[in-house]
Amino acid sequence: MSGSRPRAENREENGEEGREEDYERAGLGGRLTPGASPALLLVDPARAYVDPDSPLYAGGEPAVEAMKALLAGARRAGIPVVVTRVRFRPDGRDGGVFFRKVPTLKVFAEGSPYGDFIDGLAPAADELTVTKQYPSAFFGTSLAAYLTAHRIDTLLIGGLSTSGCVRATALDAMQHGFVPVVVQEAVGDRDPDVHAANLFDIRHKIGEVWPMARAEEYLGVVRGAERP
């Protein structure tokens, strides 16, 4: 029996190139153009992900260094900076089903040091801290209203972890009308394959995924431009 081979078989043989071709044929992977009025959003740069004694330790140290560089670049460019944190009541009831599904979220209960910001990534006094109980930085918070009030059109996103709160936040950013740009080196996950798969999916279905060098170049352009 003749005919073309199944796409899944072609993808398996051709690896990343085959997946790219398949997604392009399916019309997945259009490009979004960032605007002239960006903000930086750092998602949950918490000690829980980088302290080896934490149950949620994810080996995110390389992403932390990139986040620090990204934060410094955003401050030089004079754009708004937003940093999120997770906080739960001691009993976790404000975390609902999410807290029940992931019991180790107890590391973010009030009073736990693991919920503190990683050194060098705490927001300044004039920068916005968003406290959340769920993966997306938009869910149940005033973030969308804040960005709209500041006429933001683009979000540069770094944080932890790629497959969880970063992805959920990028998706909601797109759904609220902001162009999400995830900075590749400034996000991380406990599993490199999961990390790569989520970046692939974000790039094809949700927003843009940029290397740090491109994000820094963009911030340089923004710094020298008159913003709305």
Residue 34, both tokens: 């960032």
| Buried b / exposed e along 46-82 (16+ C-beta atoms within 10 A) | bbbbbbeebebbbebeebbebbbbbbebbeebebbbb
Amino acid 167 reads R
Task: Decide: residue 117, CB within 10 A, 0-12 exposed, 13-18 middle, 19+ buried.
Answer: middle
Q: What are the two backbone dihedrals, phi and then psi, of residue 149, each rounded to the nearest 5 degrees?
A: -65, -30
Q: Which residue among the candidates 143, 165, 181, 209 is catalytic per the annotation?
A: 165
Which residue, chain included where needed, has tokens 């260094």? 65
User: Partners of 182 in the beta sheet?
Assistant: 157, 209
Active-site residue 165, yes or no? yes
User: Partners of 158 in the beta sheet?
Assistant: 42
Which residue, chain included where needed, has tokens 């590391």? 107
Residue 169, both tokens: 């936040």
Catalytically active residues are 165
